[in-house]
Amino acid sequence: MASKFGAETSQTVSIAPLLNALVEVTATSNITKGRASEEEIAAAISLIFENQLSAVQCASLLTVLHSTGRDREPLVLAKCGQRMREAAAQIDRKVFRDIVRARGRKEGYYRGGFCDLVGTGGDGWSTFNVSTASSIVASSLLLLSKHGNRASSSTSGSADLLEAIKPKAPRIQAVASDQLPAIYQTSNYAFLFAPMFHPGMRHVAPIRKELGFRTIFNLLGPLANPVEGHIEARIVGVAQKDLGQIFAEALRLSGAKKAMVVCGAEQLDEISCAGKSDCWRLREKPNPAFRGPVNEEDDEFTTSDEEGEPRKLVNIEHITLQPSDFGLSEHALSEVSPGRLPAENAETLMRLLRNELPKGDPVLDFVLMNTAALFVISGLCDADTSNMGHGDSGNVVKETGPGDLRWKEGVRRAIWAIESGRAMASLDSFIKATHLE
């Protein structure tokens, strides 16, 4: 499995030629990126998952990618994300299509597919686990495949939070690729614990820890959801504004059509409750160059997208959001980032799901706006009618905000999910499913 830069030995593969090709030293001794292609970089990354690189060469590869900035190129991220998914525990694609048909709840422009809400981490704020809490609330109306791990730079990672739930925590290590279909038989929610699906990452874990800086793997997590081919919509948080456009482009190159990359003004990898957030939305629009039929149902009788122009193009649009766009108040990050341990955050999560947090509570508003964003990006809030269940007034908030989208309608639906008990019931279903023998 060696690229043109690799020479294979009996146990490991030498990528010394690739390492040399990755850098060029200028006349003034400055190091710049060399001529290595994105595909060659991805091929080298894939060797890590097979334990075919020595520790020295693995560390060298990660260091060179970081120092030359190649680990922040959209196509490098997309190609490496693809290799990481290929090395992951595989799921039965047909079974997952059947799950979407059977359990997906179509509404508005949401077609019932799986969704994810995830961040790259590394923002240094140690906020409450908002993406995990929001994903649980969102699963009241959407199919959720939450991809996550334990804490690396914060005090409480998504896996740590879930394992600290009382009185009965989900068995997250019982959720393996062959168990996922059974989980979704009774639950809209599943937590995909990264080590269970990406066993090859164990080969690089000690090296990353010793390097001491954030490597390309800190950015690949959101691109490596094992059910990627069935992810319809997602929110991805990045901890640096300059990564926003880069990550949005990487998602587009990876085939994403409904997504939004977000970064709080404080360099927060969530939509901030404290002020403005920069957002990069992926949005499908008609392709004026398409020459096929008017109706999508007739596509099978026309030239395929690979041979001709695609019916739609995915554009990236930049918008700015703030709490008032959701009809919510601002809260300082100090009110949601005390750096608490998993047990304390789990207690807060359960109080939120039991509808015990008062209106205007900082954590509640933080979760509401991030849940609302996923509802909006999924297309759910484009529906002009609403029949979510008991307690739903049916009064759709049609007011639009940035991007001409219904952010306040997203909040209305998130509030209903909590107040109706549907969000709590969704978590309970997941917990029970993980304890079935």
Across 82-91, 107-116, 123-132, 262-271, least confident range: 123-132
Q: What pTM, to 2 d.p., does this model score?
A: 0.93
pLDDT digits (tens, 9 = 90+) for 419-431: 999 999 999 999 9
Got the DSSP string for 93-128?
Answer: HHHHHHHHHHH---BTTB-S-EEEEEE----S----
β-pairing, 13-14 vs 189-193, is unpaired
Residues of the chain with pLDDT > 90: what percent? Answer: 82
Residue 10 to residue 128: CA distance in whole angstroms: 48
Q: Is the pLDDT of residue 6 over 70?
A: no
Phi and psi based region of residue 236 (left: phi greater than 0; alpha: psi -120 to 50; beta: remaining): beta
pLDDT digits (tens, 9 = 90+) for 173-204: 999 999 999 999 999 999 999 999 999 999 99
Buried b (16+ CB within 10 A) or exposed e, 193-227: bbebbbebbebbeebbeeeeebbbbbbbbbbbbbb
Q: Are 154 and 126 in contact (CB under 8 A)?
A: yes
Q: Is the pLDDT of residue 313 over 70?
A: yes
Q: How sure is the predictor about 128, in pLDDT bands with cuts at 50, 70 and 90? A: very high
pLDDT at 9: 42
Q: Are 203 and 48 in contact (CB under 8 A)?
A: yes
The CA distances from residue 377 to 34, 138, 177, 339, in Å, are 38, 12, 27, 29
pLDDT at 392: 96
Q: How sure is the predictor about 26, in pLDDT bands with cuts at 50, 70 and 90? A: low
Sheet of 277-286, strands arranged across: 189-193, 143-148, 114-119, 231-237, 259-264, 277-286, 312-321
Q: Is the pLDDT of residue 297 over 80?
A: no
pLDDT at 170: 98
pLDDT digits (tens, 9 = 90+) for 46-60: 999 999 999 999 999
Q: If you average pLDDT over every residue of the chain, what do you get?
A: 91
Across 34-38, 107-111, 404-408, least confident range: 34-38
Q: Is the pLDDT of residue 394 over 60?
A: yes
Residue 59 to residue 211: CA distance in whole angstroms: 7
Of residues 354, 278, 289, the one with CA closest to residue 316: 278
pLDDT at 3: 46
Partnered with residue 31 across adjacent β-strands are 25
Residue type, 413: R
pLDDT digits (tens, 9 = 90+) for 39-48: 999 999 999 9
Half-sphere exposure of 351 (CA within 13 A, CB side): 13
Mean per-residue pLDDT for 327-343?
90
